[in-house]
Amino acid sequence: MPTTPSTPAAYPVTTGATPAYRCSPESTVSVVIACYTEARWAGLEAAVRSALEQERRPLEVVVAVDHAPALLDRVARAFPEVRVVPNTASPGASGTRNAGARAARGDVVAFLDDDTRAAPTWLTHLVRGLEETSGTVGAGGRVAADWPGGVAPRWFPPEFLWVVGASYEGMPTGRAEVRNVWSESMAVRREDFLRVGGFRDGFGKLGGDSSPEDTEFCIRAAAATGRSWLYVPDAEIVHDVPASRATWRYFVRRCHAEGRGKAEMAALEEGTALTAERGHVLGAIPRGMWRDARRLLRGDRWGPARAVTAGAGLLAAASGYLAGRRAAVRAAA
């Protein structure tokens, strides 16, 4: 979502803007895939294969394993062509991705998740965005949801596809400067990544808990470098959606967690303006609710259900945000 510049982060970084530049066409790329459980082996295998089969060949594929020795050994045996590294920092997605990025040898680090599959041209388009756009710290691509049965539930509002980690209604349809991209499809110069300290250790996804570590990192990296993030929708990946996440209960729970996570991020960033979120809440979501409510007149009986679901999602996110703010106040007392 296009936004105005954000407030600098309260996190130890080397400050001061760096010169605008374009990533060189000769830049080498390391693809980093974080994983944590053998239960997602099929997804990890698909992610690794998609990285190895890119039209623009990566220098290497690095699989970072989060405190799971048996999984680390299995990856090493199954994929002799990739580098496998352990996360020795705090458990969670942030520490695991950081371990992979620190081990990487490419000029650019591109991240995938263990439940995603990249289109063959994903890396070509993602890195081309860095090559062709000056003043960019990193880039992210479009994410399509792979639903059980191949189609989204009819009650699911498209403005809320972020709930399942997918690009949603209201995002740019072409290349655009944005506040943040998602770590499941992100490319950033390794030098810049390390300079700003990578993802915030201990903040982000861990088990059933989730905080927006990618948003926090993007804001901090943009503030430290004086450059912006680029959304490149031609760089496409697919994100698996398990049946357990295609439910109304998960939808509401995830919206609540997102609100709470954004409150935690705002506290860390010392009042970072949630410009993108406000714009989406005040613009795309009300338009979508009105559109879906009117579709009943066209015979779409699920239109009102989508409008009600969107309203429930807003209330859940607001509730989570208030809970997060109260927790932050108590922690600061």
pLDDT at residue number 23: 62
Closest C-alpha to 217, from 231, 230, 201: 201
Confidence of residue 212 (pLDDT cuts 50, 70, 90): confident
| Average pLDDT over every residue of 241-268 | 89
Whether 324 is in a domain gets the answer no
Enter the tokens of residue 4: 């105005």
Residue 9 pLDDT exceeds 60: no
Task: Give the CATH number of the domain where residue 217 resides.
Answer: 3.90.550.10
Could you tell me if 215 and 31 are in contact, meaning their C-beta atoms sit under 8 angstroms apart?
no
Q: What rounded mean pLDDT belongs to the chain?
A: 86
- Least confident interval from 59-63, 308-312, 326-330: 326-330
Whether 290 is in a domain gets the answer no
Whether 284 is in a domain gets the answer no
pLDDT digits (tens, 9 = 90+) for 84-106: 999 999 999 999 999 999 999 99
Could you tell me if 189 and 136 are in contact, meaning their C-beta atoms sit under 8 angstroms apart?
no
Helical residues (DSSP H) of 158-302, grouped into ranges = 190-195, 213-225, 248-268, 275-279, 285-294
Residue 154 backbone phi and psi in degrees, to 5: -70, -20
pLDDT digits (tens, 9 = 90+) for 272-318: 545 555 554 545 566 656 676 666 666 678 888 888 899 899 889 88
- Report the C-alpha gap between 125 and 233 in whole angstroms: 9
Whether 14 is in a domain gets the answer no
Whether 54 is in a domain gets the answer yes
Whether 97 is in a domain gets the answer yes
Could you tell me if 176 and 3 are in contact, meaning their C-beta atoms sit under 8 angstroms apart?
no
Q: Per the structure, how many domains does the chain have? A: 1
Whether 292 is in a domain gets the answer no
Residue 158 pLDDT exceeds 70: yes
Q: Are strands 228-240 and 29-35 parallel, antiparallel or unpaired?
A: unpaired
Could you tell me if 321 and 260 are in contact, meaning their C-beta atoms sit under 8 angstroms apart?
yes
pLDDT digits (tens, 9 = 90+) for 129-147: 999 998 999 999 999 999 9
| Average pLDDT over every residue of 42-53 | 98
- pTM here is 0.85
Domain residue limits at 167: 29-244
Whether 1 is in a domain gets the answer no
Angstrom CA distances, 148 to 151, 241, 302, 314, stand at 7, 7, 19, 25
pLDDT at residue number 210: 64
Closest C-alpha to 193, from 3, 5, 14: 14
Enter the tokens of residue 249: 């209960």
- Kindly state the DSSP code that residue 133 receives in the 8-state scheme: -
pLDDT at residue number 24: 64
Q: Comparing 115 with 274, which gets the higher pLDDT? A: 115
Name every residue whose Cβ is closer than 8 Å to that of residue 225 and which is 6 or more positions away in sequence. Answer: 17, 18, 137, 192, 195, 196
- Report the C-alpha gap between 52 and 110 in whole angstroms: 13
Any idea which residue has 């000029």 for tokens?
Answer: 107
